[in-house]
C-alpha cells in the first residue's frame, strides 16, 4: 500500500530544525544564567550571614551601648579584624563595666543612596544609640553613569544588578594573572567604554601558548606585536590603537602603551577609556616606586599619567593623580595637613544623602558620626555638611600619616583602589578604629560608665554645639579635630 502521508520539503524541515535548535540553545543559556546568578547571590548571602554572625546578638541589658556602623567595603571587609569589630574591643577596654554592641552593616560596592534606603529597616532591627558612617567613595563611579535626568536607564540597572557580570570580570583578572600580567582597575566613569576586547586577547594568547608550546607571556607579546604591525597599515584605526595601548599597559609595558597614545596621528586620537586605563597603571606603578623610596621615578610616572588624561572627561582620576603628586612634595612625616588638597571631594549626591541621614537620625534622637576616609583631609567633608546639626566628624589624615612615618604603606593598606588609600590591613583598620573610638569617648558618649540613650543624644548635642562655636572661632580644622 502506498504511503499517502504528505511530505514537507526538506528545506522546511531544515528550517524548523534550525529554529528548534536555536530555541533550545537560547533556553539552555537562559537556564544556565539563572542557575549561575542564583548561585552567586546565594554565595553573597552566605558572606553577609557570616558578617552578621560576627555581629553582637543584641543588647544584653538596657545599659548596653549599641553602635551601628555603615559604609562600603572599607567597613564591611576584614572579618574579626574589620574596624567595627576592633572598635568594639577598644571601647570595652576603655570603659570597663560598660557593654558595647558594635554592629557592622557595611556592604561592599554599595553607594550612599543604597545605604540611606536601608537605614530605616536597620534602625528598627538594631535600635542603635549611635550611628557611625564612612561612605561616599563609590558615589563617583556609580552615579556618573546616570542620565541627565538623574535616573539610571532600566537596562543599566538590570546589568548592574547581575552578579554574572562581576564573575566575568573576575575570571578575566584571573586569566590575566595566569598570563603573568596584572589587570588594572577598570577605567573611570564618563569614558567611552572601549577596551572590552582585552579578555578576548588574553584568551587568544592562552590558546596560542597551548597550541604552540610557548609561555603565555611570549604568546601575548607575539599577538600584540602582530596587531601593532597590522595597525601600521591602518594608523587611523583608533579603536585598535586604544585596545593595544590598554593591553601593553596590562602586560606591564607602559613604554609601548604611552608610545601608541602619544604618537597617534591627528585623526586617530585614542579614546578616554584607553588613556585612563594606561594612566591608572602608571598611578599604580608610581605608588610602588614611592613605597620603595624611588620618588623621582614615581613623580615622572605621575606626570606622564596626568598628561594622558583629559581634565574635563576624567576629573576624579586627575584628582587622584594630583593628590599623589602633592604627597610626593614632602616626606610623609612632614606633610602639611593644612595645604589644599583635591582628595576627599564628593559629588553632590553624597552630601544630600548625608543630610537626609542626619535628619532621619535626629528625629529619633540618634547622633551621627561621619568618618572621613584614611589620608583624606576632613575639610571637604566638613564643608559639605556645613550647617547640618547633629553630625560629629572624625578626621583620619593625621593619624595615618603619623603611622606611615614609621611603617610601610603595605602594612596599613592592601591596595590603592581610591588613589591614595585602599582596603585596610588589620593594622590599618586598628588605626581607624582607634580614631573613631577616641571621638566617641570624647565627644559622643557621656563620661558615666553606663548611660541611657537619651543622655547619649544630649551629650552629643552639647558636643555639637561646642563644635559650631569652635568652627566660628577657629575654622573647620578646629571643628573637626579633637575634643
CA distance 69 to 77: 12
Please say whether the beta carbons of 172 and 198 come within 8 A.
yes
Residue 91 pLDDT > 60: yes
Report how far residue 60's alpha carbon sits from residue 330's, in angstroms, rounded to the nearest whole number: 50
Any idea which of 26-30, 46-50, 260-264, 477-481 has the lowest mean pLDDT? 477-481
Residue 473 — pLDDT band, cuts 50, 70, 90? very low
Length of the chain: 483
Under a CB-based contact definition with an 8 Å cutoff, are residues 67 and 87 in contact? yes
Per-residue model confidence (pLDDT) at position 222: 86
pLDDT of 305 strictly over 60 = yes
Written as nine digits, the cell of 281 is 597603571
For residue 15, the model assigns a pLDDT of: 53
Of 331, 351, 315, 273, the closest CA to residue 116 belongs to 351
Residue 68 has pLDDT above 90, yes or no: yes
Q: Determine the distance from the C-alpha atom of residue 262 to the mean position of all C-alpha atoms in its chain, rounded to a whole number.
A: 30
Give the C-alpha separation, 208 to 201, whole Å: 10
Q: How confident is the model at residue 311 (pLDDT cuts 50, 70, 90)?
A: low
CA–CA distance, 400 with 372 (Å, rounded to integer): 12
- Helix or strand run (H / E) with residue 71: strand 65-71
Query: What phi and psi, each to the nearest 5 degrees, are found at residue 370?
Result: -100, 120
Model confidence band, residue 370 (pLDDT cutoffs 50, 70, 90): very high
For 385-452, where are the alpha helices, taking DSSP H only? 398-404, 426-439
Residue 59's pLDDT band, with cuts at 50, 70 and 90, is low
H or E stretch including 47? helix 10-54
Question: Which of the 8 DSSP states describes residue 62?
Answer: T
Beta-sheet strand order (sheet of 391-394): 100-104, 65-71, 130-134, 368-371, 391-394
pLDDT of residue 85 exceeding 60: yes
The pTM (predicted TM-score) of the whole model is 0.57
Residue position matching grid coordinates 543588647: 59
Which residues does residue 424 pair with via DSSP β-bridges, in sequence order? Answer: 413
Report the alpha-carbon distance of residue 97 to residue 447 in Å, rounded: 13
Beta strands in 273-322 (DSSP E): none
pLDDT for residue 180 is more than 50: no
pLDDT of 341 reads: 45
Q: Which three cell numbers stand for residue 394?
A: 572624625
Cα-based distances in Å from 315 to 95, 162, 191, 351, 438: 45, 28, 11, 19, 35
The arithmetic mean of pLDDT across residues 217-238, rounded, is: 84
E strands along 265-346, which residues?
A: none
pLDDT digits (tens, 9 = 90+) for 417-445: 776 788 999 999 999 999 999 999 999 99
Count other Cβ atoms within 10 Å, centred on residue 480. Answer: 23
Three-class secondary structure assignment of 119-180: HHHHHHHHCCCEEEEECCCCHHHHHCCCCCCCCCCHHHHHHHHCHHHHHHHHHHHHHHHHCC
Mean pLDDT of 364-369: 95
**C-alpha separations of 310 from 139, 279, 292 in Å:** 21, 11, 29
Q: Report helix angle 238-250 to 254-262, nearest 10.
A: 160
Percentage of the chain with pLDDT > 70?
A: 64
Q: Quote the pLDDT of residue 227.
A: 85
DSSP code string of 52-115: HHHS--S-SSTTPEEEEEEESHHHHTTGGGSHHHHHHHHHHHHSTT--EEEEE---TT--HHHH
Taking only the tens place, the pLDDT of each residue in 324-364 is 777 666 444 443 434 444 456 788 889 999 999 999 999 99
Handedness of CA 159, 163, 165, 169 (dihedral sign): positive
pLDDT band at 62 (very low <50, low <70, confident <90, very high): confident
CATH 3.40.50.1110 for the 62-136+346-480 domain, yes or no: yes
Residue predicted with more confidence, 483 or 124: 124
User: CATH 3.40.50.1110 residue ranges in the chain?
Assistant: 62-136+346-480
Give the per-residue pLDDT at 422: 86
pLDDT (mean) for 47-64: 62
Question: pLDDT tens-digit profile of 181-226?
Answer: 444 443 333 333 333 356 667 677 777 777 888 887 788 888 888 8
Q: Can you tell me the distance from the alpha carbon of 50 to that of 220, in angstroms, rounded to the nearest whole number? A: 40
CA-wise closest residue to 103 among 133, 141, 146, 147: 133
Q: Are 388 and 355 in contact (CB under 8 A)?
A: yes
Amino acid at each position: 500500500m502506498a504511503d499517502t502521508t504528505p511530505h514537507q520539503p526538506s528545506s522546511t524541515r531544515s528550517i524548523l530544525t534550525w529554529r528548534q535548535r536555536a530555541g533550545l540553545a537560547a533556553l539552555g543559556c537562559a537556564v544556565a544564567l539563572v542557575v549561575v546568578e542564583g548561585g552567586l547571590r546565594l554565595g553573597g548571602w552566605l558572606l553577609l550571614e557570616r558578617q552578621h554572625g560576627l555581629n553582637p546578638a543584641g543588647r544584653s541589658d538596657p545599659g548596653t551601648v549599641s553602635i551601628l556602623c555603615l559604609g562600603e567595603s572599607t567597613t564591611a571587609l576584614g572579618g574579626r579584624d574589620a574596624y567595627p569589630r576592633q572598635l568594639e574591643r577598644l571601647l570595652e577596654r576603655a570603659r570597663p563595666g560598660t557593654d558595647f554592641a558594635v554592629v557592622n552593616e557595611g556592604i561592599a560596592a554599595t553607594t550612599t543612596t543604597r545605604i540611606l534606603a536601608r537605614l530605616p529597616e536597620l534602625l528598627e532591627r538594631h535600635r542603635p544609640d549611635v550611628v557611625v558612617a564612612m561612605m561616599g567613595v563609590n558615589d563617583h563611579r556609580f552615579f556618573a553613569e546616570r542620565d541627565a535626568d538623574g535616573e539610571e536607564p532600566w537596562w543599566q540597572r538590570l546589568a548592574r544588578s547581575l552578579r554574572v557580570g562581576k564573575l566575568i570580570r573576575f575570571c578575566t583578572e584571573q586569566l590575566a594573572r595566569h598570563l603573568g600580567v596584572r589587570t588594572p582597575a577598570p577605567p573611570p566613569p564618563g569614558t567611552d567604554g572601549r577596551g572590552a576586547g582585552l579578555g578576548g586577547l588574553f584568551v587568544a594568547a592562552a590558546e596560542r601558548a597551548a597550541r604552540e608550546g610557548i609561555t603565555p607571556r611570549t604568546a601575548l607579546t607575539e599577538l600584540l606585536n602582530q596587531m601593532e604591525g597590522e595597525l601600521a597599515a591602518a594608523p587611523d584605526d583608533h579603536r585598535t590603537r586604544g585596545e593595544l595601548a590598554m593591553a601593553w599597559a596590562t602586560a606591564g609595558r607602559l613604554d609601548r602603551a604611552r608610545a601608541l597614545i602619544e604618537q597617534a596621528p591627528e585623526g586617530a586620537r585614542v579614546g578616554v577609556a584607553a588613556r585612563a586605563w594606561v594612566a591608572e597603571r602608571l598611578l599604580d606603578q608610581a605608588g610602588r616606586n614611592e613605597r620603595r623610596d624611588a620618588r623621582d621615578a614615581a613623580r615622572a610616572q605621575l606626570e606622564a599619567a596626568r598628561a594622558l588624561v583629559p581634565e574635563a572627561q576624567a576629573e576624579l582620576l586627575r584628582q587622584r593623580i594630583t593628590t599623589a603628586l602633592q604627597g610626593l612634595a614632602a616626606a610623609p612625616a612632614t606633610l602639611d595637613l593644612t595645604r589644599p588638597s583635591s582628595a576627599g571631594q564628593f559629588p553632590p549626591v553624597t552630601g544630600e544623602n548625608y543630610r537626609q541621614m542626619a535628619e532621619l537620625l535626629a528625629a529619633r534622637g540618634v547622633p551621627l558620626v561621619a568618618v572621613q576616609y584614611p589620608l583624606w583631609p576632613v575639610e571637604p567633608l566638613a564643608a559639605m555638611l556645613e550647617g547640618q546639626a547633629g553630625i560629629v566628624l572624625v578626621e583620619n589624615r593625621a593619624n595615618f600619616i603619623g603611622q606611615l612615618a614609621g611603617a610601610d604603606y603595605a602594612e596599613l593598606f592592601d591596595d590603592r583602589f581610591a588613589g591614595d588609600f585602599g582596603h585596610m590591613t588589620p593594622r590599618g583598620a586598628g588605626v581607624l578604629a582607634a580614631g573613631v573610638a577616641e571621638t566617641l569617648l570624647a565627644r559622643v558618649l557621656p563620661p558615666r560608665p553606663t548611660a541611657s540613650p537619651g543622655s547619649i543624644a544630649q551629650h552629643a548635642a552639647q558636643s555639637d554645639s561646642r563644635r559650631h562655636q569652635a568652627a566660628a572661632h577657629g575654622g573647620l580644622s578646629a571643628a573637626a579635630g579633637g575634643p
